[in-house]
Amino acid sequence: MKSWRSSSTRIRELTVLSGLVLALAGLSLCFGGVAVSPAAVWRALCGAGGSDAAARIVRYVYFPRTCGCLLAGGALACSGAIIQNVLANPLAAPNLIGVNAGAGLMVALSCALFPEKPCGPLAAFLGALAGVLLVLSVARRTGASRFTVVLTGAAVSSIFGAGIDAVITFVPEALSGYSDFRVGGLFGVTMARVIPAAWVILPTLAAAFALGSEMDVLMLGTDTAQSLGLRVRSLRLVLLTLAAALAGAAVSFAGLLGFVGLIVPHIMRRLAGGESRYFLLASALGGAALLTGCDLLARVLFAPYELPVGIVLSFLGGPFFLWLLLRQRGGRTF
């Protein structure tokens, strides 16, 4: 009976999260610089709106942006959840340990070296993977405490950020709209940029969910996991690779968005508990909802002017991170 009640509770929670995502996606398709009625949105998505202004706005502006928010939010939140579980560090997140910055550097290099055909998602993945492995290696050599990982990540992010600045200095046209990329935002995103990233994000999310049972064993501790026959080093490398792929794909079209991978896993861990598959699914839905909601706020708060969504996330994530640090300093557990 207890198991049945637990399952029914989880189904209700996932249903609420899914409904929230759908509601925010619907609002994102209707509101922005120009408001579009739900009926006009439906006609545009069904291809019945012809070439009128409302249909063009929905198809070429609001729809790609909404898809980008859902994909990037889900990918970054799930990446953060994986990193926190693998490193057993609640302060870890893609933007805090050099993952996003590494992805950004490789995207800048790709655009500078191959301007006609930049390999955005692949380059971002390689940079993100390099970032997380570098931070993990340095932290292990110096003592992998929670604060060591964060400080190492800050240093690596600073180095990668300087690399991005250097690329833009020598090849100014490498990243058009560089300030938006650095802050993070989805202004002007197109389906041509979202679709290649989606081919990375969706299979990677499926692979992460498939490894949920192994992640549960890993979280029991290294010695226990090894005694149960788990190849701990190999599994950690695979999971961190998946996290890098998720974060890198999101950065390739959404820029250096921060704090989604920090805020959402903490909230969903309290909601979903410790079972990895449910936790990852809830994080993906929560990340999609958070980024879509923040992007909607960024578009309508000062309309017709628009804030990059990265600014809104920083206003939310900065205080949240400070609160986590204070809890850690106070000796409380997460």
pLDDT tens profile 201-245: 999 999 999 998 889 888 887 788 888 788 888 888 889 889 988
Q: What per-residue confidence (pLDDT) applies to 52?
A: 81
Q: What per-residue confidence (pLDDT) applies to 75?
A: 95
User: Please, what sign has the CA dihedral across residues 58, 35, 72, 20?
Assistant: negative
Q: Both tokens of residue 41?
A: 């949105």
Q: Is the peptide bond before 203 cis (omega within 30 degrees of 0)?
A: no
CA 240 centroid distance within chain: 14
State the Cα–Cα distance between residues 225 and 261, nearest whole angstrom: 26
Q: How many CB atoms lie within 10 A of CB 212?
A: 15
Q: What per-residue confidence (pLDDT) applies to 124?
A: 84
Residue type present at position 1:
M
State the Cα–Cα distance between residues 61 and 58, nearest whole angstrom: 6
Assigned superfamily of 16-329 = ABC transporter involved in vitamin B12 uptake, BtuC (1.10.3470.10)
Q: What per-residue confidence (pLDDT) applies to 173?
A: 76
pTM for this predicted structure: 0.88
- Which residues make Cβ contacts (< 8 Å) with residue 31, sequence separation at least 6? 296, 299, 300
Q: What per-residue confidence (pLDDT) applies to 87?
A: 81
Question: With a cut of 50, which residues of the chain have pLDDT below it?
Answer: 1-5, 330-334
Q: What confidence tens digit (pLDDT) does each residue in 69-103 have?
A: 999 999 999 999 998 888 877 778 888 788 888 88
State the Cα–Cα distance between residues 45 and 300, nearest whole angstrom: 22
